[in-house]
A and B are shown apart, each in its own frame.
Chain A
Amino acid sequence: MLIYSTFIAPFIEFEFMRRALVGALALALGSVPVGVLLMLRRMSLMGDAMAHAILPGAAIGFLLAGLNLVALTVGGLAAGLLVALLAGFVARTTVLKEDAALAAFFLVSLAVGVTIVSIRGSNIDLLHFLFGSVLALDNQTLVLIAGIATLSLLVLSLIWRPLVLDCVDPGFLRSVSGIGAPAHILFLTLVVLNLVGGFHALGTLLAVGMMMVPAVASRFWARDITAMVFTAVTIGGLSGYVGLLLSFHAGLPAGPAIVLVAGAIYVASMFFGRVGGLVWQLFPGRHLEA
């Protein structure tokens, strides 16, 4: 009975917990595979930058329509895509690399966002922006998050091969096909979409946590990209479930609890992960015969 009341009952008894769980699982399904690719493209920090860039768009949406789902989403998407495409454009046409161009654009964007929010909103609104409200997901928001997850899995499966090739051997891909650049732009769009979805549940900052932390942890468990994606999605879903329980029983805020659990799994993976974990490096066992 203790097991039931600890691990299952909260979701049976409270609808808001069920909604939160569905939202967290959908988020894990959609944004974690995107995170794995970001990591392998050496763009781990880009998600963070993009999350900041989304803020002014959402803030303008808020200015115009208050805490309205459509306005916040459209605003966030527009700002995120604008910054991503501008950075991509500058990187391809000038001496700046993509990360440098992005750094400049996202910081300006963040400053605009914070200015708008603090001129017009109260501090509570700012908190909602930054940290989301996974325990208060309404139907509309759930459909949005699930829709984004579905779309991003579909698009990823379509552009998977060029994306992987573009990481491993970009010169080869360019020599056989011109699909690399459009695939990259589609992928950036997916990053923004998933961050906007995550923003409603976890806020602009913690949405990146769901995207990147499970992905980074999975590197310690898998040698192959496919296995890595499955491991990472499992870690993401598990973090959502355990994080919500932790928040329920210990009275912690839910969004940070989810990312904290993911962080704990990351630290454990770093020590015990079968692929390059620290413990296995310290006690490698006797060397093999061949």
Chain B
Amino acid sequence: MTVQLQFHDVTLGYERHPAVHHLDGRIRNGSLLAVVGPNGAGKSTLFKGVVGLLKPLSGRIDLRGLRARDIAYLPQIAEIDRSFPIDVYDVVAMGLWHKAGAFGGIVGADRDAIHQAVASVGLTGFEQRSIGTLSGGQMQRALFARLLLQDAQLIVLDEPFAAIDAKTAADLLDIVKRWHSESRTVLAALHDLELVKSSFPEALLLAREPLAWGAPSQVLTAENLLKARQMCEAFDEEAAACIAAA
């Protein structure tokens, strides 16, 4: 197993306040890693750092030669403008950006690929529906179809199963497992601890600082979770400069 992603003492944050503090560690090629932690633990921040939307305040994230096109990112669903007049087909087709770019055409084979992706998330027949008419679960299915088309080696999912029903979550989890079986590396921010224990081989408990990293049964202990909650509630507007960063 080669290393896919390496964190070298990474600190990520906003206006000098760290949201992820001194993260060290490596993620192996083909890992299926659940990132767990309370709201404000830095899960989204960490993912933004990984996909390159946020530059670390200090430290370095080594992508081991992965290019932007090798990384697929599912933002939290709240960041998408659902009122925009665009249909499901066009949203899914965005997943071909690495092939078509800003100007390239969508040819016959691409159309087949789009229809296939739509079919594998169970949205056949919804292609012409505008995204404003979709339910939350259907929208998430469409975004997974887009991820399928991106055909990426590293897939980063920010709360993929938030606010969707059990059937949809199970269908989408099957897709995640398929990616895992294809040796793609998948990172997912999750709140459902039972799901993490049952379906994820590896978990990282984050509370701004990494608290535990390993098998879910060892990471998600009551003691660790309590500690995570307490750490996330501390924020100091007047915090001094971090000594460890000096």
Instruction: Please indicate the chain A residues that have their CB under 8 angstroms from the CB of B101 in the complex.
Output: 177
Q: Contact: B85 with A175, CB < 8 Å?
A: no
Instruction: Please indicate the chain B residues that have their CB under 8 angstroms from the CB of A92 in the complex.
Output: none
Instruction: Please indicate the chain B residues that have their CB under 8 angstroms from the CB of A97 in the complex.
Output: none
B239 at the interface (CB under 8 A from A): no
B80 at the interface (CB under 8 A from A): yes
**Contact size class for B?**
20 to 34
Q: Which of B61-113 contact A (CB under 8 A)?
A: 68-69, 71-73, 75, 79-81, 84-87, 91, 94, 97-98, 101-103
Q: Contact: A171 with B73, CB < 8 Å?
A: yes
A168 at the interface (CB under 8 A from B): yes
B6 at the interface (CB under 8 A from A): no
B51 at the interface (CB under 8 A from A): yes
Q: Which of A20-45 contact B (CB under 8 A)?
A: 40
B168 at the interface (CB under 8 A from A): no
Instruction: Please indicate the chain B residues that have their CB under 8 angstroms from the CB of A165 in the complex.
Output: 94, 97
- What is the CB-to-nearest-CB distance from A161 to chain B, in angstroms, rounded to a whole number? 5
A115 to B72, CA, bound (A): 53
- DSSP class of A's interface residues: helix, strand, loop or mixed? helix
Chain B interface: which of A5-13, A70-78, A202-210, A222-230? A222-230
A255 at the interface (CB under 8 A from B): no
B242 at the interface (CB under 8 A from A): no
Q: Contact: A224 with B52, CB < 8 Å?
A: no
Instruction: Please indicate the chain A residues that have their CB under 8 angstroms from the CB of B53 in the complex.
Output: 171, 174-175
Instruction: Please indicate the chain B residues that have their CB under 8 angstroms from the CB of A176 in the complex.
Output: 68-69, 97-98, 150
Closest to B98 in A: A176
Closest to A179 in B: B102
Q: Contact: A228 with B85, CB < 8 Å?
A: yes
B130 at the interface (CB under 8 A from A): yes
Q: Contact: A224 with B97, CB < 8 Å?
A: no
- What is the CB-to-nearest-CB distance from B17 to chain A, in angstroms, rounded to a whole number? 14
- Using a CB–CB cutoff of 8 Å, the interface residues on chain A facing chain B are 40, 158-159, 161-162, 164-165, 167-172, 174-177, 179, 183, 222-225, 228
Q: Can you list 9 A-B contacts (CB < 8 A)?
A: A40-B84, A40-B85, A158-B103, A169-B79, A169-B81, A171-B80, A172-B75, A175-B75, A176-B150
